[in-house]
A and B are shown apart, each in its own frame.
Chain A
Amino acid sequence: MADGTMVEAVRPTYLDRKGFLSWALTLDHKRLGIMYLVTIMVFFLFAGIMGMLVRLELLTPGKTVMGPDTYNQIFTIHGAVMIFIVIVPGISATFGNFLIPLMIGARDVIFPRLNLFSYWIYVGGALIALVSLLHPIDTGWTFYTPYSIRTGTSVIPITFGVFVMGFSSILTGLNFIVTIHKLRAPGMNWHRMPLFIWAAYSTAVIQVLATPVIAITLLLLIAERVFGIGFFDPAKGGDPILFQHFFWFYSHPVVYIMILPAFGVISEIIPVFSRKPIFGYKAIAYSSIAIALIGFLVWGHHLFVSGMAGWVAKVFSFLTFLVAIPTAIKVWNWLATMYRGSIDLKTPMLYALGFLFLFTIAGLTGLFLGTLAINVHLHDTYFVVAHFHYTMMGGTIMMLFAAMHFWFPKMIGKMYGEAVAKIAFALIFIGFNLTFIPQFIMGMEGMPRRYYDYLPQYHYQHVLSSIGALVLGVGILVMLINLIYCIFKGEKAPSNPFGSKSWEWQTTSPPPTENFEEIPQVTDWTYGYGKKN
């Protein structure tokens, strides 16, 4: 496949045009991918600092640096910004935008103007959400009623901001679905698509189907606060548990919006750095679709002790275990891909191995939470906090970092600094585990989440966790400084430094505006490593 199409002559790249407007009004999916990435990283750092403040406050029982109201606001901002502004768009908006057309051999997404519009809706929604910083919301990112109806803090800006960002999510999803259906290069049938495309496609389906539900729910919440209509507050005749059902009907599928693109990224990285074809391609591809669909039917596992009927809890527990199976299958497939490979431990591969380790912990601790009898004890404790940080940070964010290194040469045309990147990975990996393993233990011992103060018996674990957060924060800073430095001072990157067979590597680094000089003719899948012709 793809040979002889490499053009090393000096041609204009997508990065050549300068000036603010050339970015702000660009229709180029690659530029939009970069803009999303920069925006998301800014919010990530902001919300990360909030997380560090939470850990700082928890260093000692009682007051360390702030009062309880401030603490409640800070953990809410940390969660809400991380979830709605960082991880939901996350890999999908950044690398989805950058890679989908390149990987399927297209010149852009099918609706470039809509794509630009989606970006600005996202920025607009995020800014609206930030208005609530004037009197920060203190409900937790879940906005549970009736507290969210009664609190005096500014609930409306942030929920309205999330409502607005929902449109960005829906439109981006639509754009990707149609792009993948209509713009694949000749010969690229569904079973020749890279698995990142399958993951992006499954994600887009959930974005389109689930997002309207949160949009409506948040509108109802706003209507209740503004007009006093009793949807959720029992004092007005509403049902607070209805809100939880609505909320999780979106917010459980949304964890798959967050994690599926990470599955896509690791499915690209492991074959390249193992020089092996991805093992069980169809199993991985179809299990993404299966997860996307079954993922809609498990929301009730957040409500086992909320006051929901017992038989419903059993159905949801069953479906939750069902969705664990396709996820387990993927882990085996990634491991089998490495078997008898030629494994090159460059930074992206280190992140991939780190992901497999952390995500295994995330999945196995998920078994505890899905088990009804155990869930009763662990629900709303630090065990849950640790579990979802292993999925979201250990899973999604680790693969976002992996992607930022792996596709760095393609995006920027320079190489990232390998040695520093590895040091940063080590700090992040150690810091992350040190932060969250003690949280599993104190959760099991009964430490409830969202506690400003705690009993002295949990002090030791809280101190370990706070030290871990500091190491993690330093690691992330080292990683970012290294990448930013290499944007300017990095070595020039060849078209295909890691020897990938995927289409984005068969054009120049950075790619020209139109991606390919000629649209590729696809005759095989992109995982033909070790294939003897």
Chain B
Amino acid sequence: MNWLPEAASSIAGRVDNVIWFVTIISLVFFVFITALLVVFAIKYRRRSEDDETPYQVSHHTLEVVWTIIPSILVMVIFVYGFVVFEDLRTPPKDAMEINVTGKQWLWQFHYDNGKSTINELFVPEGRPVKLVMTSDDVLHSFFVPEFRVKQDLVPGMYTYLWFKAIKKGEFNIFCAEYCGTNHSGMLGKVKVLSPADFEKWKTSKEELIAGANLVEAGAELYTKRACIGCHSIDGSPMVGPTFKGIFGRQETLADGQEITVDENYLRKSIYEPQAQVVKGYQPIMPSFKGIISDNEVSALIAYMKSLK
């Protein structure tokens, strides 16, 4: 078991130094106190009912020493912690800005060229990135353990977080602030690319559907566009209705209306999810207008049709 996750941002190593500093001080005190407890309990155990004990009520030097030493140590820890915190909170001026919106229960990322992704944050290696974050509904918290960064997303205001990824690879994004039913499913990935690959990705027109068959593209979109967070494909009920056998299913809506699920119902449910909610489910799905293209909707519908 490793005490710390991999250090994959420029600040992570410095945070780890603080953690190790406090760990060592804590271990010294822990071992010292535990040793005294055990030694005293054995050495001074009651041997007879007439044991003589000294009438010792205080000792000024000792009391001064054991007040001053911890006081100095905690002040050193405080200062060390806040110096690193200062750098953790202050983004460099040349940082690349990416907008982040948290919603129950997905992450949406917007780049300055209009590109947007769900649950996948692509960033270049070695370049500082500043996230400008807000929430659409309740509190969320953006947390990447490997970067040692965390910041709450608050509806109605912007909060900020920055990091510089120093390793290529994929790292988990957790939502750390409780946000309701599917809080633990509000996961994403930071994908750290080389600067060249990042530029290529950023300027590319992502066309999943090109070439691939629609069902396969839909299967990929199911994960990529975060449907997977709320809709199962094995028939088990989650926050939303399962996709298994959804096409052609008879459903009762919240207002009592009976409908048959067809292409138009599915399309409308993706773009205006509150319009026709199936009975027994909360009207909480965010709209994917502007996030999922028409072609992608077609692919998703094809995928749903294949889930019999």
Contacts and interface: CB of A to CB of B under 8 A. Distances in A.
A532 interface: yes
A324 B74 contact: yes
B150 A377 contact: yes
Contact of B26 (A150, A275, A365): A365
Interface in B281-295: 282
Given A317-B82, A338-B40, A373-B15, A381 B176 contact: yes
A446 B84 contact: no
A335 interface: yes
A324 B88 contact: no
Contacts of A379: 141, 150, 176
Given A321-B74, A374-B15, A144 B176 contact: no
Contact of A373 (B18, B58, B151): B18
**Chain B interface: which size bin?**
35 or more
Most chain B CB within 10 A, of A234, A279, A364, is at A364
A32 to B, nearest CB: 34
Interface stretch (B2-10, B91-99, B106-114): B2-10
B128 to A, nearest CB: 17
Interface stretch (B27-35, B253-261, B298-306): B27-35
B126 interface: no
A274 B70 CA distance: 26
B175 A281 contact: no
A213 interface: no
B155 A342 contact: no
A212 interface: no
A454 B77 contact: no
Contact of B143 (A235, A275, A446, A528): A446
Nearest to B183: A450
A404 B146 CA distance: 45
A427 B26 CA distance: 26
B55 A532 contact: yes
Interface stretch (A166-174, A251-259, A304-312): A304-312
A144 B137 CA distance: 13
A184 B52 CA distance: 32
Given A335-B40, A343-B41, A377 B145 contact: yes
Contacts of A375: 81
A139 B181 CA distance: 10
B22 A374 contact: yes
B5 A360 contact: no
A345 interface: yes
B213 interface: no
B145 A445 contact: yes
Interface string B71-103: 100110110111111101100000000000000
A371 B34 contact: no
A361 interface: yes
A150 B67 CA distance: 48
Given A147-B139, A367-B26, A452-B184, A441 B3 contact: yes
A306 B156 CA distance: 13
A376 B86 CA distance: 12
Q: Chain A contact residues (Cβ within 8 angstroms of B): what range? A: 35 or more
Contact of A305 (B18, B66, B151): B151
A446 B172 contact: yes
A453 B185 contact: yes
A530 B70 CA distance: 30
Nearest to A238: B156
A230 to B, nearest CB: 10
A333 to B, nearest CB: 8
A281 B157 contact: no
B62 A336 contact: yes
A527 B258 CA distance: 79
A310 B161 CA distance: 12
Contacts of A461: 1
Contacts of A373: 14-15, 18, 80-85, 88
A490 interface: no
Contact of A446 (B67, B145, B179): B145
A410 B154 CA distance: 53
A444 interface: yes
B183 A451 contact: yes
A279 B57 contact: yes
A372 B178 contact: no
Interface string A132-167: 000000111000101100111000000000000000
Nearest to B34: A357
B275 interface: no
A353 B172 CA distance: 41
B81 A281 contact: no
Residue with the highest number of chain A CB atoms closer than 10 Å, among B3, B137, B156, B159 = B156
Interface of A: 63, 67-69, 72, 138-140, 144, 146-147, 150-152, 234-235, 239-241, 274-283, 305-307, 310, 313-314, 317-318, 321, 324-325, 328-329, 331-332, 335-336, 338-345, 353, 356-357, 360-361, 364-365, 367-368, 370-377, 379-381, 441, 444-446, 448-455, 460-461, 527-532
13 contacts: A147-B179, A234-B155, A240-B155, A280-B58, A321-B74, A332-B66, A336-B62, A341-B44, A375-B81, A380-B176, A446-B5, A453-B184, A530-B52
The 7 A-B pairs with the shortest beta carbon distances in the complex, nearest first, are A234-B156, A446-B145, A371-B81, A342-B51, A372-B85, A373-B84, A451-B184
Interface of B: 1-5, 14-15, 18-19, 22-23, 25-26, 29-30, 33-34, 36-37, 40-41, 44-47, 51-59, 62-63, 66-67, 70-71, 74-75, 77-78, 80-86, 88-89, 137-139, 141, 143, 145-146, 148-152, 154-157, 159, 172, 174-185, 236-237, 239, 282
